[in-house]
Structure 1
Amino acid sequence: MSIFASTEQAMTTAYFSINNATVRFLNNTLFKNLTFRINKGQHWALIGPSGSGKSALLQTIAGRFNITGGEINYHFDEHLLSNLSPTNGISAKTKLIALVEPRHHFRNLSNTTDFYYQQRYNSSDSEDALTVDHYLASVNTVSENERQWDSDKVLTLLNLHYLRDKQLIKLSNGETKRLMLAAALLKNPALLLLDNPLTGLDVKTRQEFNGIINQIVASGISLIIATSVHEIPDAITHVAVLQEGAIIQENTRVDFNPELFNTVTQDQVDTAELGALLNIDNPTANYNYIVKMDKVHIQYGSKVILDDVDWEIKTGDHWALLGPNGAGKSTLLSLINGDNPQAYANNIVLFDKKRGTGESIWDIKKKIGFVSPELHQYFPTDNSCLQVIESGYYDTLGLFRPSNKQYAATALRWMKTLEIDQYARTLLKNIPASAQRLCLLARALIKNPSLLIFDEPCQGMDDHQQLHFKNLVDTLCSLSNVTLIYVTHYQHEIPDSVDKVLQLYQGRVV
């Protein structure tokens, strides 16, 4: 099949339609009078600012939300449905839809508990995890005679062969993204829904993404992708623009003008307020070495993760830590943040103290503000956003004590500075993913730490949020002597204040 519709009939045959629908989740109305139609042979991109409803529309199509008005119809070919039957409340038609979300839902090998943050660094617990091979073998597929995609084909397409024996918990963020797409393809869906699939992928994989998408749609799968206006794959035939829970524009790809949506040019940071926040309980310690590593070597079994890494970071340094997916960046950061017990077997100095000379993990964490894709993945979401940010004072994953009135007031000021104060009393799980990440960034900033570690902090943010956060980081660095380690796969995200670079490739400094 061509990646574009080959006949006029194909272009006018509905594949999915939703008409004048009201869509609800819990007590929230997500859409009113929602109408959206996909014809066979079409492939759609959904664009719009953070919170506009892109992810909600994908989940609506996947059958996740209640439709209380209007109607929703799936017009899949009858031969695809003939061998499928409803199970556990899942209709046969929605079984032909695969949704790849930003967060994974991996479970331990015992299938009794979910993964938890730090599990990957605890050898006995990390063994309680499926390997990539076992995970893909567990994916439920359609009947054998309808299979376009098998294990070998998806492993090759997504370059996962070398990861087959690796445990899920030990995958990098980008490797996890590729695995989730592989699992979705193994379901051999009629309709594939991708929610910001490029976040967390390195430059090489992003460059290959067009070719990957071309092969997917050439196999007969229809595609809907929520993405940035800057990263619309070539195979896309139509674009829908969302704003505040409504589709405000639909265009063919040919008629769509992305320049109309490059509107973010200016941004302001309240320098006086940021300066005041930085003066609250600000520690004055000035360390000779924030980090000093000498020939650090990390190995799991026969797999070398870090090989003879030397790194010196002094107070006030602003570093970018760069490298492709799987280069060892997350492991290197785990040694600094106190999460990796192999730090004790290496020559590492943190805040002028050699690891293993009596300091606790909490002594280290109280000096560090940290955020990463893994922390976002595993952070409990049943606290309000204000509670999540206040928990940064205690370095706990959530607030497990009565709220401190003064701390809560400071948390709200940080929320206003990051333009997310409207979510203060909302549960973290009920706000957009980009706003969740901003909450965790506020949590990292609230205690005015000596060291900030921002690991891919802008994942999922829209253009305005990215620009505002970048300006905030630069202003913060100009107003204080904070030390910064910044990780990203996007060159334009690196703050102007960053003036030093450490680049890793296959565990070595290059």
Structure 2
Amino acid sequence: MLHKILSIDKATVRYLNATLFNGLSFEIKKGENWALVGESGSGKSALLQTIAGRFNITGGNIRYHFWDEAASKANTGEVTTPHKMIALVEPRHHFRNLSNTTDFYYQQRYNSSDSEDALTVADHLNAAKHSGSTEAFWTVEKVSRLLRLDELLDKQIIKLSNGETKRLMIAASLLKNPVLLMLDNPLTGLDVKTREKFNNIIKQIAASGISIIMATSVHEIPAVITHVAVLNKGAIVHESKIEDFKPELFEGDKTDWIATDELNTLLNINKSTATYNLIVKMEQVHIQYGDKVVLDNINWQINPGERWALLGPNGSGKSTLLSLINGDNPQAYANQIILFDKKRGTGESIWDIKKKIGFVSPELHQYFPTDNSCLQVIESGYYDTLGLFRPGSKEKAEIALRWMKALEIEQYARTLLKNVPASAQRLCLLARALVKNPPLLIFDEPCQGMDDHQQMHFKNLVDTICRLSNVTLIYVTHYQHEIPNSVDKVLRLEKGKTVL
């Protein structure tokens, strides 16, 4: 009989004033690896956080059987808590600067002097190394090879792409040599090549004796998974062995409806009457940090009303290219770049640029303050600020709420951003990008973490917006099926260069 690693028995789990689970029961045995699936907000992340000890258990109990065994064998003081033997990889990182006193900020990666205050990948991994007295299986050398970090060891962590950051987070968690590794949507942000190799990565982790629990989509369950738990509205509604699991029974709602008349009305509120001959024109753009060339001889012209997909693997230069358009990268002034018919450096401010762009990206989500309500976050889109720092406007708040309804998130209007599911946070930032009706929309991996229905609804919404308006669109994704049907032009990057 397999030994239990962890068991939860009829637990009541609370966070702040909310009850997350009532009568929760769940157990993991040695040799088992679990996938948690379910719609957005069903409780997958909350279950991982519960196991990690982040929430209060006010009824029932949770027992870490691996801890009982380890504590009986350990010298006094060697093992302090069971949570030290668990690693959780969350959607957002918690990197600190060299002084360990100040959080990173959104534009820091593009400002060379400020980015020097960041650890390198090698520094971060060395700091995460297992500190126990026993010899560790997972070493810096092993995790660097497994997660393809060898070529990034000297790179500052603030300059990593979204996918590179995710690989580093997984590598750092392995260096704890945990008994239990928990992954919250680990494939988010990873390019096609890394996703294809993920099965082998997880297989090697499991082969080292680590048990795995991962929140994921029903469409992306690695071969090493032995069991599946389906969650719905804060309850485990189904458990089975992987060979008995029928994913088609648990796919999201495939029906969708777009309120076209309402969307058309929203798109004409405060609509700009300005017209442009060029949205973007880049000629021989070159971006370099030290000896590292990030963009090499990029030529790109975007005309009004065009819809582009910007594609390429992690680290290919996509985010840097977008930062030149969005006004976040000071190296734009040293290059031949025209935005909205004006050459960069001819008197326009960063705010003149941003007011014409609706922008969302994984990095914006990472660094966006979370202490505003979701409605306030969306209203801040009128001012291009990271949060609402002025008294709210009743008129603007009403329009923001209408955009929330269009994106099916109005139930979160008065809830703080930090207290809603990650997918709802991203949808709030998408509404923030749309609320001012800008002539250019830049959506960088907008569907990260969304369930099937949310992805379908957002894709249909974008296509409807493109049909009803002359908006220009740049869309970035690692998933071909996410690209809206309205997109008909492609720019592909690889190692900082355009490729056919």
Taking the aligned partners of 1:316 and 1:431, their CA distance within structure 2 comes to: 34
Structure 2 CA distance for partners of 1:85 and 1:174, relative to 1, 3 Å: farther
For 2:300, the equivalent position in structure 1 comes to: 311
| CA distance in 2 between partners of 1:263 and 1:124 (Å) | 46
Write out aligned runs for 1:373-412 (5 A): 373-412=362-401
Choose the corresponding residue for 1:116, options 94, 105, 116. 105
For residues 387 and 76 of structure 2, the distance between their equivalents in structure 1, rounded to whole angstroms, comes to 41
CA distance in 1, matches of 2:218, 2:129: 33
Amino acid at match of 2:127: S
Aligned equivalents of 1:473, 1:134: Cα separation in 2: 41
- Identify which range, 72-81 or 142-151, moves more after superposition: 72-81
Which of 199, 202, 214 aligns to 1:210? It is 199
CA-to-partner distance for each residue in 1:136-178, whole Å, 9 max, x for gaps?
1111515242411000000000000100010010000000000
Distance apart, 1:94 and its partner CA: 1.2
Query: Is 2:147 the counterpart of 1:151?
Result: no
Relative to 1, partners in 2 of residues 1:495 and 1:136: Cα closer, same or farther, differing over 3 Å?
same
Alignment of 1:293-372 (within 5 A): 293-372=282-361
**Alpha-carbon distance in 2 for matches of 1:490, 1:395:** 28
**Is 1:481 paired with 2:470?**
yes
Q: After superposition, give the CA deviation of every residue in 1:227-282 in whole Å (9 maximum; x if it has no partner).
A: 00000000000000000000000000011011112353321110000000001000
**Consecutive unaligned residues in structure 1, runs of 5 or more:** 1-8
The answer on 1:253 being equivalent to 2:219 is no
Displacement of 1:353:
0.2
Q: Which residue of 1 aligns with 2:254?
A: 265
Which range is displaced more, 286-295 or 145-154? 145-154
- Post-superposition Cα deviations, 1:20-72, rounded to whole Å, max 9, x if no partner, equal 11001111111011000111111000000000000000010111111100011
* Aligned-partner SS, 1:316: coil
Q: CA RMSD in A?
A: 1.3
1:441 is aligned to 430
Local SS of the residue matching 1:386? helix
1:372 is displaced (CA, Å) by: 0.1
Describe the shift of the 1:263–1:71 C-alpha distance in structure 2 as closer, same or farther (beyond 3 A).
Answer: closer
Residue 491 of structure 2: which of 498, 502, 506 is its match? Answer: 502
1:32 maps onto 2:58 in alignment:
no
- 1:393 corresponds to which letter in structure 2? Y
Deviation digits for residues 178-198 of structure 1 (CA, Å, limit 9, x no counterpart): 000000000000000000000
Structure 2 match to 1:71:
61
Letter of the 2:41 counterpart:
G
What is the CA–CA distance in structure 1 between the aligned matches of 2:165 and 2:333, rounded to whole Å?
A: 28
Matched, 1:224 2:213: yes
TM normalised by structure 1 equals: 0.96
1:149 aligned partner, one-letter code: W
The secondary structure found in structure 2 opposite 1:148 is coil
Report how many aligned residue pairs link the two structures: 498
Distance 1:360 1:317 in 2: 25
Between the aligned partners of 1:479 and 1:269, the Cα distance in structure 2 is 12
- C-alpha change, 1:263 and 1:68, in structure 2 (3 Å) is closer
Partners in 2 of 1:143 and 1:216 — Cα distance? 19
Alignment of 1:76-115 (within 5 A): 76=66, 80-81=70-71, 82-83=73-74, 91-115=80-104
1:43 aligns with 2:28: no
CA offsets, 1:441-485, max 9 Å, x none? 000000000000000000000000000000000000000000000
SS in 2 for 1:254: helix
Deviates more, 1:270-279 or 1:91-100: 91-100
8 Å Cα contact 1:213/1:235 also seen in 2: yes
Cα-to-partner distance string for 1:55-111 (whole Å, 9 max, x where unaligned): 000010111111100011011166644447779xx9521111000000000011111
Q: Could you tell me how far apart the structure 2 residues matched to 1:279 and 1:294 are?
A: 34
Q: What is the rounded CA distance, in whole Å, between the counterparts of 1:275 and 1:80 in structure 2?
A: 62
Amino acid in structure 2 at the alignment position of 1:71: N
2:7 aligned with 1:22, yes or no?
A: no
| Alignment CA distance shift 1:18-1:79 (3 Å) | closer
Which of 426, 429, 442 is 2:415 aligned to? Answer: 426
> How much does 1:421 deviate?
0.3
Whether the aligned pair in 1 keeps the contact of 2:129 and 2:139 (CA below 8 Å) is no
Unaligned runs of 5+ in 2: none
CA distance in 1, matches of 2:116, 2:258: 46
Change (3 A) 1:217 1:345: same
Give the whole-Å Cα distance in 2 for the aligned partners of 1:330 and 1:337: 10
CA contact (8 A) 2:39 2:252 kept: no
Checking the alignment, whether the CA contact within 8 Å between 1:43 and 1:235 is kept in structure 2 is: yes
Match of 2:228 in 1: 239
**Structure 2: how far apart are the matches of 1:263 and 1:79?**
41
The one-letter amino acid of 2:61's match is: E
**Aligned amino acid, residue 50 of structure 1:** S
Given candidates 186, 193, 199, the residue that maps to 2:188 is: 199
Q: Residue 163 of structure 1: which of 152, 164, 186 is its match?
A: 152
| SS of equivalent residue, structure 2 residue 12 | strand
1:292 is the counterpart of 2:274: no
Q: Letter of the aligned partner of 1:498 in structure 2?
A: V
- SS of 1:145's equivalent in the other structure is coil
Q: Residues 312 and 85 from structure 1, CA distance in 2 versus in 1: closer, same or farther, beyond 3 angstroms? A: farther
Note closer, same or farther for the CA distance 1:261–1:79 as it changes in structure 2 (3 Å cut): closer
Q: Is the 8 A contact 1:85 1:92 kept in 2?
A: no
Partner secondary structure for residue 31 of structure 1: strand
Distance change in 2, residues 1:210/1:84 (3 Å) = farther
CA distance in 1, matches of 2:213, 2:349: 48
- Aligned position for 2:457: 468
CA distance in 2, matches of 1:158, 1:236: 19
Structure 1 residues 172 and 425, CA, compared in 2 at 3 Å: closer, same or farther? same
Give, in whole Å, the separation in 1 of the partners of 2:80 and 2:57: 15
Separation in 1, partners of 2:341, 2:184:
43
The one-letter code matched in structure 2 to 1:116 is: Y
Cα distance in 2 for partners of 1:196, 1:285 equals 42
State whether structure 2 residue 44 is matched by structure 1 residue 57.
no
Once residues 368 and 83 of structure 1 are traced to their aligned partners in structure 2, the CA distance between those partners, rounded to angstroms, is: 57
CA contact (8 A) 1:18 1:72 kept: yes
> Partner amino acid for 2:43?
G
Partner of 1:6: none
Alpha-carbon distance change, 424 to 495 in structure 1, aligned in 2, over 3 angstroms: same
Identity %: 73
